[in-house]
Amino acid sequence: MSGIVSGGLISGIDTQGIIEQLIQVASRPRILAQQRLAQLQSQQAAFLDINSRLSSLASTISTFRTQSLFEGKLASTSNEDVVTATASSSAAEGQFSLQVNRLVSSQLVVSRGFADRDSTPIGASEFTFEPASASIAIDTALSELNGGSGITRGSFNLTSGGTTVTVDTSALATVGELVEAINDAGSSLSITASFDGGQFQINNNSGSTLTITNASSTDVLNSLGLVSGTPILNGNFAIGGVVYQLESTTSLSSLNDGNGVYIDDRDIGTARRDMTLTYNDGSSDVTFDINIGSIWESITPAGGGDPVLTETRGRPTNLGQVVDRLNEEFTDQGANITASIDAASGAISFTTTGGHSIVSFNEVSGRSTARDLGLDTAVVAANSTGTGGQLLSTDSTRLVRTLNGGNSIGGGTLDVQTRNGDTFTITLPTGSSTPQTISDLVSTLNADATNAGRLTFTYNSTTENIDVTDTTSGANNLIITGAAGDDLAAGLGISTGTAGVAANTFSGGRPEGQYIANSTLLSSLRGGAGIGTGTFQITDGDGQTADVTIGSDDNNIFDVITKINNAQVSGGGSLGVSARINDAGDGIVIENTATGTAAIIAADTSGNVASRLNLSGTSSSTGGSGSDNKLDGSFEETVTFEASATLDDVAQAINDAGVGVRASIISDGSPTSPFRLSLTAEESGTAGRFLLDTGTFDLGEATFDEGQDARVVLGATQNGAGFLISSNTNTIDNAIPGLSINLVRASETVETISVETDVNSIVSAANSFTEAFNEILDRIDEQTRFVEDTGERGALLGDGTIIALRNRLFNSITATTPNNGDFDRLTDVGFSFESEGRLSFDEQEFREALEQDANSVTNLFTLREIDSSFGTEEILPGVTVTDPNAETTFSQLGLLPSLEELLNDYTSSLNGIITRRNNAIDTQIQGQQDRIDQLTLQLDNERARLEAQFVGLETSLAGLQQQQSALGSLSGSLGTLG
C-alpha cells in the first residue's frame, strides 16, 4: 500500500521524510548523469553557435566570389538632373560623354472644339486606326546611308549674302529630318533642300552665291555627298553624290520598304530550298532548287562515328551574301547565269551567256523568298541582261510593289473625263520603264503624252494621298476610273467612281502600304510588345477543331501561317482552313476551305496569341470553300459609333476597342466650343505612332506631338560630333555595353558618365569579413573562458576541437599565396592583428593596394580553380573513370577561398568536423538520457519498496496494538472474576 503522506498513524514515525532521505541518497548517480547531460547540451549549443558563425563567415567570404564584387562597377554622372546610370560587371571602366537631345514622347492628336461632351451627337460614324508603318511615306534612316555606315555627325554652314546659318546633324535620325533642318535653317536665305535618287539636292534662290562649308572639325558634308566650299550660283541646284543605293552591304531587313526578305529558319537539312529556278539551256527547260538560307552538311566527327548534320554556313544578312549564294548555285548547276547588284535600278541584275536564259524563279511551299528578292519578275533572254523588281526606294516614297498588300495597284490604265469634257486613257509604260515608286508613278502620270498636262498629279506627303488637279475648265464632272476587276484608279486611291466629282481637284483615299509580310518578326508587332506565346483553337466550316500552339521558337508571321495550315484535327486529318497574308498586307487572314458552311471561329485557350493577332472571334460570314467565310486579322482597326454618339460616347468606344490609342475629353475653357477629343498613343515613341482616318467626318484634328523616340548623342562633344542612339523609352540599355542610362531631361550641355570599379562595395564586404572573423573569435573566447575569481567556465573550456580551430583560423589569415603579384598575404593589403588578438582592417591601405595591383588583391579574395583532373582516375592507359564521391581538389586557391574551404571542413552537413562532433555529443546525450531514465525507474521502484515496507510496519504495529488491547481487556475480565 502506498500514499503515506507524513508520519505513521500507529508508530508516529516520519516515514515520508525517511523515504525522501533514502531516495535522495540513492539519487546521487542520477544527479551526476543529469549534470553530465546539461554539460553535454551546453557543449552542443556552443558548437552549434560556433558552427552557425563559421557558416556566416564562409558566406561572407563567398560573396567576394559569387557576387563578383571585384568585377562590380559603379556609374556616376556629371549631372543627375539630366542623366543617371547604373553599371553591370561587364561595363568597361572609363568616361563616356553624351548629350541628351530629347526625352521620349507619345503621339498626341487633338480635335476641334465641340459645344458639349455628353448631350449632342457629333455625327461621326466610324474612325479607323492603323499603325504608322502603313504609311506610304518612307523616311530613310541616316544610319542606312553610305552602305550602312551612316553619316559623319557634326554641323555645316550655309553662307549667302554675308549671312551664315548652321545646320547641326548630331541629333538627326532620318533623311527627312535633315532635309527639314536645312529648309528651316535656310528659309531666311531662300535655300531649300530635297532628297531624290539617293542624293541630297540644294536649291539656291537667295539672289547671291551660296557656299556650303563644314562648321565642325568633322567632315559632315562629304558623308552627305556634298563637297565643302563648293559655290552654288543663284537659281542653281547642287546635286550631291549618291549616298543611298542598293549595295552589297544593304541589309535584307531594309528591303521592300522595311518588310525584309523571308528565309525559312526552320528548314533544316541538306535538301533545304527557298525557291526554284527554271532556265533554258538552249534546248530544253531545266529546273533546280536554290538554297538562300543556312547550309547544312553531314559531317563525320573527328574521332569517328556517325555523321552529324551540321550548319556550316548561316543565313545571309545582306544582299551581297544573297548574290554570292545565287552565283554559287548557278555554278553548281551548270547554268550560265551571273547575278550582280544593279545600283542604278535598285534591283538584282542577271546576265546570261552560252545560249542560256532565265524562264522563271518560283516560290516553294507558299513562301515568298523569290518575290521578296524581286525575282518573281526576272525573265532574261539568252545572252542578255535583265533585272528583277526594285528592292529599295531612294526617293522617300514607297515602292509600288509594296502597295495594297504587296499584290498589285491594278492594271496599267486610267480612264479620264476632264471638266471640259475631254476623254482619254492614260497607260502606264511596261518593262524597264514601269514606275517603281510612288514618286516615279506621279512623275510618269504627269509626263504622259496622252494626258498632255490636262491632269496634274501630286503626291501629298502630309495626307499621304495622291491629289489630282484638273487644269481644264468646264462644267462637267471630273471622272477617273480603272478597269473592272483590275482597277488602277482604286489602287491609287484616286477613283472618283463613274459619276465623278464636280470639282477641279480631287483627293481620294490613301493607298494601302504593306507592313505585314512573311518575314515580319512577331516581336515587332503591337509597337514592339509582341504577341507572347500560347495556344488558340480554330473551328472550321465543318465544325472540326484543332489547336495551334505558338511557342518561343516561332519567330515570324510565316511561322504562324505554317502552324495554322498544318493544324491537325483530333484523330488525324487537316483542318479545313487556309491562312495567308491578307490582301491589304496588314495582317493574317484565315479562310474556310471546308465544305461545311458554319462560320469559322478562333479562340484563345491559353495566352492571348489569337487576340493579339486580331484573329480571335467568329466570322461574320458563313459558307463553304471559296466563300467570304474568313477571319481577317488586319491591324487596321475600325471603331464604329451609334448615330446618337456624343463626344463622351466616342471616347468610350475608342477605349473599349483596344486599338492602342487612349481617348479622353479635355476642355480649353473657351465659352462656345471648349470640349476636344484627345487621342494619345498607348505606346511611347515612334513605335506607338498611329494613322487616323475619320472618313467623311470632319474631326478637325491637329497633331501636337508626333510621338518621338528619346535621343542621346553618345561620344558627343561641344562641336556636335558623336553617335546617335534612339529609344522608345527614357531608359537606354547596352548602348554602352553593361551600362543602363536613364534620361531625366533634355539638355544642350554635354554630360559625362564615369564608370569605375565599385571599390565601396568591396570595402564594405571586407569590413563585413573582418567583423564576422572577429565575431567567431569572440564566441570561441566566450565558450572557452575561465574566470579565476568566480571559477566560471565556458562550455567548451579545454576542448581540443575548438583550440585547433582557433589556431587554424589564425594560421589561415597569416598564410601566404605564392606567385601572386605584388601582394601574397592579407597583411599586405590592410589586414593585421591587434594586441588583443583581433583582426583589424585599414581601409585606406586596402584601397591603395587595389590601385597598385588590383589583380593581385582580387586573387587573394577570389582565386578558386578546380583541378581539371578532379573526380577522374586513369585505371588503364587512356581509360579514365569518374568517382562521384571524390573530394574536390583545386589547382589554385587564393587566401580567402582557402579559408572558405577550411570553414567548409568544419561546417559541412555531411562530414564536417563540428558536424561529427555534434553527432558524437548527440550519442552521448542519448546515452545519458537513457541512463537517467533507467535510474529514475530504479528510484521509483525503490520508493515503492520503501513505502511498502513502512506500510507493512504500520500494519504489524496495528496488529500488535490490537493484541495488546485484547489482552488488556482479557486481564480486566479475569480480575473481575477473581
State pLDDT tens for residues 755-780.
999 999 999 999 999 999 999 999 99
pLDDT at 592 over 60: yes
pLDDT at 634 over 90: yes
Q: What is the pLDDT of residues 499-545, one digit of tens each?
A: 999 999 998 787 888 999 999 999 999 888 899 999 999 999 999 99
pLDDT at 3: 44
pLDDT at 303 over 80: no
Span of 24-33, 78-87, 112-121 with lowest mean pLDDT: 24-33
pLDDT at 10: 64
pLDDT at 572: 84
1: pLDDT confidence band, cut at 50, 70 and 90? very low
109: pLDDT confidence band, cut at 50, 70 and 90? very high
Give the whole-number percent of the chain exceeding pLDDT 90.
Answer: 59
Give the whole-number percent of the chain exceeding pLDDT 70.
Answer: 95
pLDDT at 237: 82
Cell of 369: 523568298
pLDDT at 4: 41
Highest mean pLDDT among 156-170, 296-310, 805-819, 875-889: 156-170
Strands of 399-463, DSSP E: 413-417, 423-427, 455-460
pLDDT at 973: 67
Q: b/e map of 718-729 (b: 16 or more CB within 10 Å)?
A: ebbbbebbbbbb
> How large is the average pLDDT for residues 32-46?
85
Span of 202-211, 354-363, 929-938 with lowest mean pLDDT: 929-938
What pTM was estimated for this model as a whole? 0.79
Q: What is the pLDDT of residues 188-197, one digit of tens each?
A: 999 999 998 8
2: pLDDT confidence band, cut at 50, 70 and 90? very low
Distance CA 178, CA 866 (A): 58
Span of 44-53, 378-387, 644-653 with lowest mean pLDDT: 44-53
Span of 135-149, 207-221, 299-313, 958-972 with lowest mean pLDDT: 958-972
pLDDT at 476 over 60: yes
Longest dimension (CA), the chain: 182
Q: What is the pLDDT of residues 4-38, one digit of tens each?
A: 445 555 666 777 888 788 878 878 888 888 888 88
pLDDT at 742: 96
Q: What is the pLDDT of residues 811-841, one digit of tens each?
A: 988 888 877 788 989 999 999 988 778 999 9
Q: What is the pLDDT of residues 922-973, one digit of tens each?
A: 888 898 888 888 888 988 888 888 878 877 777 887 777 778 777 777 776 6
Distance CA 112, CA 115 (A): 10
pLDDT at 301: 86
Q: b/e map of 402-420 (b: 16 or more CB within 10 Å)?
A: bbbbbbebbbbbbbbbbbe
- Which residue do the cell numbers 515570324 mark? 556
> How large is the average pLDDT for residues 678-683?
95
> How large is the average pLDDT for residues 222-236?
87
396: pLDDT confidence band, cut at 50, 70 and 90? confident
Q: What is the chain's mean pLDDT, rounded? A: 89
pLDDT at 444 over 90: yes
pLDDT at 693 over 50: yes
Distance CA 393, CA 810 (A): 76
Cell of 411: 492594271
Distance CA 566, CA 564 (A): 5
Rounded to 5 degrees, what are φ and ψ at 961? -65, -40
pLDDT at 884: 67
Query: What is the rounded (10 degree) CA torsion for 240, 244, 247, 251?
Result: 160
Distance CA 287, CA 276 (A): 7
Look at residue 660 and give its three-state secondary structure: coil
pLDDT at 883: 67
- Asked if residue 641 lies in contact with residue 655, where contact means CB atoms within 8 angstroms, the answer is no
pLDDT at 871: 59
695: pLDDT confidence band, cut at 50, 70 and 90? confident
Half-sphere exposure of 233 (CA within 13 A, CB side): 1
pLDDT at 974 over 90: no
- Within 8 A by CB and 6+ apart from 737, the residues are 90, 91, 92
- Within 8 A by CB and 6+ apart from 964, the residues are none
pLDDT at 5: 44
- Within 8 A by CB and 6+ apart from 123, the residues are 697
- Asked if residue 358 lies in contact with residue 374, where contact means CB atoms within 8 angstroms, the answer is no
pLDDT at 876: 63
- Within 8 A by CB and 6+ apart from 318, the residues are 248, 249, 250, 251, 252
pLDDT at 527: 82
> How large is the average pLDDT for residues 491-501?
91
